[in-house]
Amino acid sequence: MKSKKLTKVLSVITAVIMTFCMMSVTAFAASRYAEGKGRIKEIEFYGNYPDSYPDHWKGNPVAWVHFENPNKCKEYELYLLEAVASEAEAKGEMGPGLYIKGKWYKLIGIDTVPSQEVMEKNPGEYALQVWVYMASERHLTEGETVYLLLTDETNMLTVGDPVKITVPKDGEKTKVTVTEGGGNDIGSCTIESATGDLVYTGRAQKPELVVTNGDTQLVEGKDFTVAYPEKMVDAGTYILTVTGTGDYTGSQTVEILVDKANNSLEAKAFPVKKALKFKASKVKKKKYTINLKDVMEVPNTGQGTITYAKAGGSSKLSINSATGKITVKKGTKPGIYRMKVSVGASGSNNYSSSYKQAWITVRIKK
């Protein structure tokens, strides 16, 4: 009987204290948000922690809050919030609602030990571990959206906007990075192209972006919007602007590369058994010129200016860099002569350069 009375008295006292605290938070919200310095660096959040000490906290949320540098007042209190549509919905057993920057929040959990002190785990590395006491009959579910808010020991807001958390599976954790200014700043998110770098196709392209905040993947249209250049056709670097919406603020630019397409140049020499043959009498008193098409096939000249060069082989053979015509020196004796020919296409703004090499063969008969 005494135990029941004591429990009832403690519940009343807790309710009174929480009401006073939350009224203080609400009252100072407007003035303190402008001053917030966003000292939180990262939050690790366990939706429903499987193990706990003492045992009666098992299954409750746990948060590790990592600080860039705590202020001189190193004691904080944590509030777990749920976004609601109205002031009436925001009121609950843990206190009145919070109205922050045009949004109402309902208090659904508080830290189990008020005014916990931030620990310096390593030199210059500060963290606060918080066990969260949940409102009765309230259990977090995977995928649910909640918000974390920290206050200092005077219940004045000190760390910016409430930080959005997507609840992970029971026993697992999710990480959320928080930048200067607190809250969910799109500038702290990681942005990547879902398809990597693009390649020129001759058509306009619109890459899909993957935006993540720690372990949480954001949704385009709900959490962010993307401003694309008017046309992404030609090869080059394009700047896209990602702007936060909903629970995210700020913006971030990202560079997307449209790479040059491969040159379509093709070139190959005829096989030795099909080598060009001519009599030695043709080079007895003068040099002899051969058209490239007689010793090599170039089915596709590719994109850009075509050039030719000798890359090795017999000193009796040479090639014109502009026309590709091959010259056999005067007085060359009967025999088989080979030359390594390099065919190049310079490419263009949208196509890369390319080079093909092949050994051509010339047979001089007696």
Distance in angstroms (rounded) separating the CA atoms of residues 106 and 21? 14
Of 259, 279, 297, which residue constitutes the final position of a domain? 259
- Classify each residue of 249-279 as buried b or exposed e, where b means 16 or more C-beta atoms within 10 Å of its C-beta: bbebebebebebbebebebebbeeeebbeee
Give the model's pLDDT for residue 112.
61
Tell me if 61 sits within 8 A of 196, measured CB to CB. Answer: no
Of 244, 259, 274, which closes a domain? Answer: 259
Contacts for 326 with CB less than 8 Å, ≥ 6 apart: 289, 290, 291, 292, 295, 317, 318, 319, 320, 339, 360, 362
Global confidence as pTM: 0.55
3-state secondary structure of 102: coil
If one counts every other C-beta atom within 10 angstroms of the C-beta of residue 241, the result is 13
Verify that 123 and 229 share a domain, yes or no. no
Please tell me the predicted confidence (pLDDT) of residue 173.
Answer: 81
Residue 354 lies inside a defined structural domain of this protein: yes
Contacts 24+ apart (CB under 8 A), 222-227: 222/246, 223/186, 223/247, 223/248, 224/186, 224/189, 224/248
The answer to whether residue 109 is domain-embedded is: yes
CATH of the domain at 244: 2.60.40
**Structural domain contains residue 116:** yes
Question: Among residues 225, 259, 293, which one ends one of the domains?
Answer: 259
Q: What's the pLDDT at 350? A: 96
Q: What pairing do the DSSP bridges indicate for beta strands 125-134 and 62-67?
A: antiparallel
- The tens place of each residue's pLDDT in the chain, 366 residues long, gives 444 443 443 344 444 444 434 433 333 222 222 233 335 677 888 877 665 544 555 667 878 777 665 554 455 677 889 999 899 999 988 888 888 777 889 999 887 665 556 677 677 677 777 778 788 778 888 888 898 887 755 444 444 567 888 888 877 888 877 654 445 778 778 899 888 789 999 999 999 999 988 778 899 999 999 999 988 999 999 999 999 988 788 889 999 999 999 999 999 998 888 889 999 999 999 999 999 999 999 999 999 999 999 999 999 999 999 999 999 999 999 999 999 999 999 999 999 999 999 999 999 998
Please, what is the end-to-end C-alpha distance for the chain in angstroms?
125
Structural domain that includes position 213: 187-259
Of 57, 24, 47, the C-alpha closest to 169 is 47
Does residue 103 contact residue 147 with C-beta atoms inside 8 Å? no
Burial class of residue 339 (count of CB atoms within 10 Å of its CB; 0-12, 13-18, 19+): buried
Domain count, the chain: 3
Is residue 56 in some structural domain? Answer: no
Nearest to 326 by CA among 272, 334, 335, 313: 313
